[in-house]
Structure formats: structure tokens, C-alpha cells
Chain A
Amino acid sequence: MNDFRERVDRDLNNPLLRSNFREAMNFLMDKRSSRFPDDEQLQSLRDLGASIRKRALSKLPDLLEQLEARLRDNGIRVHWAESPEQANQIVLDIARHHGAKTVIKGKSMVSEETELNEFLEQEGVTPIESDMGEYILQLAEDKPSHIVMPAIHKTRQEIAHLFEDNLAGCEYTEDVDALILAARKELRKAFHSADIGLTGVNFMVAETGTLVLVENEGNGRMSTTVPNVHIAMTGLEKVIESLDDLPPLLTLLTNSATGQPITTYVNMISSPRQQGEDGPEEVHLILLDNGRTIPYADKEMRQTLQCIRCAACMNHCPVYTRLGGHAYGTTYPGPIGSILSPHLLGLEETKDLPSASTLCGACSEVCPVRIPIPDLLRRLRHEGVRKLKSGEEAVIRGHGAKYTHTEKAAWLSWSKLYSSPALYRTFALSATLFRGLTPSRMKGWTDHRTLPRPAKKSLHSLVKSYRKQNGASL
């Protein structure tokens, strides 16, 4: 993770990647805005979304208890995992119990977070990704670069070559439909032979004990209904209070993410197979903490957990658009990643992420649940450079990871200069008097720009002269 700057260098200088992301983000931004023509309606929907998520988080422990009870009543088994390792072990234990050889997977960012695929492979269980993007990445031994469109960094040509090399009987074609059909043929076989289906979850409804999963390809429906066992895996913050809360959140999610009024499939899973029905005999839910309870404990940072993973923040982020997702080096890239990853991984590992933003606010302007991302980035910067007072407890792992004496001393001097009118006058006078001595180069700045030179006279002294000449007041 700490080679963030190296990855930035690598990806900024990849013109194909740059243009892929620019075009894809333009497309997604246009799709979203075409779905929200009326700003007032959008703003009140965002208010509603934010309040639903805030309410759910305000009673999180109670809702989780209620959820667990309802799910158990419905026959769904609930597992709690504190760490990625525990979550993976729970999956493996279930797989071993059923003698499972293959697991067919719907898209799950939490399973990316726990690196489940790598773990299962080591343990002799074969994971097969069935989301088209994830399927491509698995073939390419690559990682998601976007949380909704995981393979968005791949060109059609790259995918055509990949399928030609890896899928039996698939010839090179740039016809998207033909490519999808080729993959679907392979996947159809996998759905039928898989022992377990594993998916993520978008929302969990505490009132009814329902797991909600949205998708467009039908692979989620297949993964949750064809194999005999379904394992759902998600972060514990995804709970909402009641079914009434669901429609506005779904509307916000799908419109913000892909500009769709609703996804092709909305799966609502409330129990294993009932008598006379089809579906899996066993349904499990794994609830992962992995550091989420850390921001939960802080009123401001708790807002991070409001996220419904629509990715609108990355689609609109000028930094993400230039870098793509891999440069961040974390499961969740972009603005949401830069405020979430420090809690999941600690600030030591992620200390460069909060400062890799201009705080332009494009993210929070589109966030469907009104997460004040720039405020949270700034807060993390603050926690990164602050020393704890005696007896004070850290609000994040790796607190103070970015603290250096040099930088602290520089800001102290800066503060002294700008909080003392007398010092500032002297400074301004010498900067203007000796403007000829201004260096023509400054590390970083002059790689792309010329450096401005101080004016002959500061505004302070221009105003003074003007007042003298015009005899004016104040």
C-alpha cells in the first residue's frame, strides 16, 4: 500500500488507462444526471436516503440483534466475523462440511476485502466468479478497479484476447454480445456443477430478516438459487430498519450507480428453500466487522458507514478519473475508499490516501446518502498529523502516522507569521521588495506551471497609497 506514489506515476503515465477511465466516467456521470432531471426532487430524495441510513446506524446494535433473530426465525444461519481471516474460515468450514469443491460467486466486494478467492484456492476449493466483470478479472488474474464496474479498466480488445486465449472454442471478436455469450456458456455449466453459491448483500432488512441483492446479469439470481448452499457475505453496517426504508434506497442506489431506475434483478432472500419450492437448502449470512466498529464509535466518522456503495463518488472524482482504481492499492478506491480504507487497514497503511484529494466536493455533491466526504478526508488528515493529548484515546488505528517534526515546525512558523500583523507586514514587504529573487523553479509546481512572482507592492500598501491620494476614510 505504501507505494502509492509509485502507482500514481505508473497509472498517470498510461494514456490508454487515462482515456478508458475518462470515457467511462463521462458515460456514468451522464447516465446518472439524465436520471435526476429535477434537482429539488433529487435533493429531497438524498435527504431521505441520508436520514434512513443515519437512523439505521443510530440503532445499529439493536437492529443487528433484531436482524439476527428474524433471520434465525426464517431459517438463515448467521455468523459473525471480526476479521477477514475469520470470515474466510467460516466460508471454508461450511464448504468442508458439505464436501464442496467449487463455489460460484456473485459480485461481492467484501469477499475482495477478505481476499477470499486466494484463501479458498490455497485450501483446495475453487472459486468461480460469475459477474461478467469479475469473471474477466479472474481470467486475467487482475483486481477490481471500480466497486460497481470491476473491470472498467479493461478495453474490449483486451477482453477479446483474454477470451480467445482462455475459453475453449472462442475466437477473437470485438462484438460485445458475442463475448458475453461465450462467457455465459462457460458460466452456465459452472452454475450447475457448483456446490455453493456465494454473494454479497446490498441491504439487510432487520424488520423482516430479508437479504436484498441487486444485479443486472441474473448471475446473482443463479448463485442464490441453483446451488444447494448459499452464503451471503457483507459488512455489518448494511442493515436497515424496515422494508419501507428499502424503495428510496434502491432508487438512490441504482440511479446513482448506473443511471438505471431499477436493476434487471432485485433479489430478496428471506429463507432457505420452503417445502414445494426450489432454492438452496441452506442459507448463511456472514457479517464482517473488520474495523467498521472503529468509525462507528466516532460521531463524525460514523457517517462513513452510511455508504450504500453506488460508486457515484468515484465516477465524479477528478482524481479517480485520472488515476483509475488500482493506484489506490485498496479494495475500495476513490473518495469512499479514501475515507473507509484507513479504518479497515489503519492509517499507517493508508496515510497518503486522505491527502490525495483537492477537497473539491464533487463526491459529496452526488453522494446519495450525503456523506460529507471532504470533511471526513480533512478529519483523517487531522488525525494523521496530530499527537494525542495525555490520556486521550486514538479514534483510529495508526493515529499520527503522518506526523513529522519538520512539517509540524513548518506549520507552527506559518501560523506565527499569519497570526502576527507585524511579522506579516515585514514578510510582505520583503517578498515584494526582493521579488527579483523569487526562484523560478519550485519542486512539483514548475513541472507543469510557471511560478508567479510577488507584485511590486502588496494590496496592503496599494490601499494605503490610494487612501493617501484620495484622502478617503476608514
Chain B
Amino acid sequence: MAERHLRQYPSRPKTVYLYGTCLIDLLQPEAGLDALKLLEREGIEVCFAEQQTCCGQPAYTSGYDDEAREVARLQMQAMAEEWPVVILSGSCGGMMHHHYPKLFAGLPEEEQARRFAERIFEFSEFLVHVLDYQREDKGEPETVAVHTSCSARREMNVHTTGWALIDGLSHVTRVVHSHEFECCGFGGSFCVRYPDISGAMVNDKVKAITETGANRLISADYGCLMNINGALEYQGEALKGEHLASYLWGRTGGDSCE
């Protein structure tokens, strides 16, 4: 799981692929466009491969390897140039970075999958380690709670880069919530297979977050946000989690894409 050896990062590329993820594509597309504009503002050419769909993780974690492979193949074909792939989710990043090489082990695409995996960077990881992202915070003072997905934390080891980006906003105070390291209970198909266990987990998460009194909730994973936001709204809470890309874009002078 968690990578022990620090990853080697490439120097600033001319062009990157932006991988929106299937959830952002249909449910929170603004976050994708905000990320695209933010990367362009940093002087990076962004290719949004039109053929991209889903990383295949839902089938993979459910045990359907053949079905996951079909979907994974398309993503590798859709992003075949040797450019870095910037992914708006630690979870999909973990799938492509860690699990693609295993999924194709012993198959003709093994080498392709391994090379593809090396080009995979989670959004906050890319901003911090490759772009050395620094922008002036133009927003009002506020406190922010952060939720890091388990894959971002334990597979991609990028919880620290998410924090670093928030901490880089000079008017923002980041608050830590109780059991912040703990899963929100989403778990892909887990939340529909075991809705009550998942419900118990997300209710605890919501309680811990709201107890901080933070004005905002930020996460770099829309899967967790969909889960946590759904529970927040269900409980009548005004707080609504936002994707890190939109938050950064908004705080640093970016226009809203609505």
C-alpha cells in the first residue's frame, strides 16, 4: 500500500492530460473545468482526452477483473502520448498508478500499463511536486476542514500535498477533525452493499467535521464528497464540501465557470 520511497517527479512538462473521472464528469463537472483553467494559468497545455470514461475501479474492487481491464485499456489508449496524466481523484489515481500494472500482469499490455502508471499524478501532488504551485490568496479569512480519501492518503501518499496547498492560502486556517485519518464510509460499491455500516461511518465523519465549526469542507476526491455531502444535506447541514480544484481556483482570482 503506502509508498515508502519518495517518488521521483519529472520537471515541468509542456503538456499534460487532465483526467476528470467519471463522477466529476457527470456530477461535478465545474471542478474539472476549474482544474483545467488553473493548470493553463500555470502555463501548462492541457489535453482533455475526449475518449476518457472511468478508470475501471468499480469493477476491479468488486472482483470483476476482465470487465475492469476492458475499461482500463480504453483509458490507456485515450492517453497514449508520453505526457503526465493529472487526475482529480486520489482514488482513481491509486487505481491507475498502483493497480493497472497488477491488472495487466502477465498480459501483453503489462509494459504499457507499467509505463502508464508512472505518468499518473494526483492533482495536488502534481501542483506541489511538479509545478511548485504558489499563488496569492485573494479570498476572505475562513477556516477549512479537509477530508483526504483513503487512496490519496495510503496508496498515493498525497494527503500532505493537499494540506500544503490549503496551508499555502494565507487567509485560510486549516482545522483538523477528530479521526481525520478514518474512512468516510464510501468505498464504492460498499456503500450500497452495506448501506448501514457505511451510514454509521459517514454520520460519524459528518459529526466530526461539523464539530470543528469550519466554514468549508474541502476534498480532492469527489467520491468521498458525494458521500459526505449527501449525508450533510440529509441532516439539513448548510455545509457543502467542495473539490480542491474549484476552491483553489476561486481563492486565487479565478472566475467561476458557471
Partner of A451, one of B67, B198, B230: B230
Whether B74 contacts A452 by the Cβ 8 Å rule is no
With most chain A CB atoms within 10 A of its CB, the pick from B64, B74, B188 is: B64
Please report the total number of A residues contacting B with Cβ < 8 Å. Answer: 69
Whether B74 contacts A418 by the Cβ 8 Å rule is yes
Segment of A58-66, A209-217, A316-324 in the binding face: A316-324
- Number of A-B pairs, beta carbon distance below 8 Å: 210
Q: How far is the CA of A418 from the CA of B21 in the complex (A)?
A: 12
Contacts of B4 in A (CB 8 A): 43
Contacts of A415 in B (CB 8 A): 59, 64, 66-68, 70-71
A449: Cβ under 8 A from any B Cβ: yes
Contacts of A472 in B (CB 8 A): 40
Known: A319-B197, A449-B233. A384 touches B70 (CB 8 A): no
Whether A443 contacts B29 by the Cβ 8 Å rule is no
Whether A421 contacts B2 by the Cβ 8 Å rule is no
Known: A360-B183, A414-B58. A443 touches B26 (CB 8 A): no
Whether A466 contacts B185 by the Cβ 8 Å rule is no
Whether B154 contacts A365 by the Cβ 8 Å rule is yes
Partner of A414, one of B47, B61, B67: B67
Report the nearest B residue to A463, measured CB to CB.
B48
Q: How far is the CA of A95 from the CA of B187 in the complex (A)?
A: 50
Q: How far is the CA of A462 from the CA of B18 in the complex (A)?
A: 14
Closest Cβ of chain B to A142, distance in Å, is: 23
With most chain B CB atoms within 10 A of its CB, the pick from A18, A446, A458, A459 is: A459
Report the nearest A residue to B205, measured CB to CB.
A318
Whether A452 contacts B27 by the Cβ 8 Å rule is yes
Whether B194 contacts A455 by the Cβ 8 Å rule is no
Contacts of A449 in B (CB 8 A): 199, 202, 227, 230-231, 233-234
Contacts of A356 in B (CB 8 A): 190, 193-194, 197
Known: A447-B196, A474-B15. A364 touches B62 (CB 8 A): no
- Mask, A167-206, CB within 8 Å of B = 1, is 0000000000000000000000000000000000000000
- Spell out B's residues near A (CB within 8 Å): 1-2, 4, 15, 20, 22, 24-30, 32-33, 36, 40, 45-48, 50-51, 53-54, 56, 58-68, 70-71, 73-74, 78, 150-151, 153-155, 181-183, 185-203, 226-227, 229-231, 233-234, 257
Known: A359-B61, A448-B198. 17 other contacts (CB 8 A): A8-B197, A12-B196, A319-B197, A355-B189, A358-B185, A359-B187, A360-B150, A362-B182, A418-B54, A421-B51, A446-B234, A447-B195, A449-B230, A450-B233, A452-B229, A452-B230, A463-B32
- Spell out A's residues near B (CB within 8 Å): 8-9, 12, 18, 43, 318-319, 322-323, 355-362, 364-365, 372, 374, 378, 380-386, 402, 408, 411-412, 414-421, 424, 428, 431-432, 442-455, 457-460, 462-463, 466, 472-474
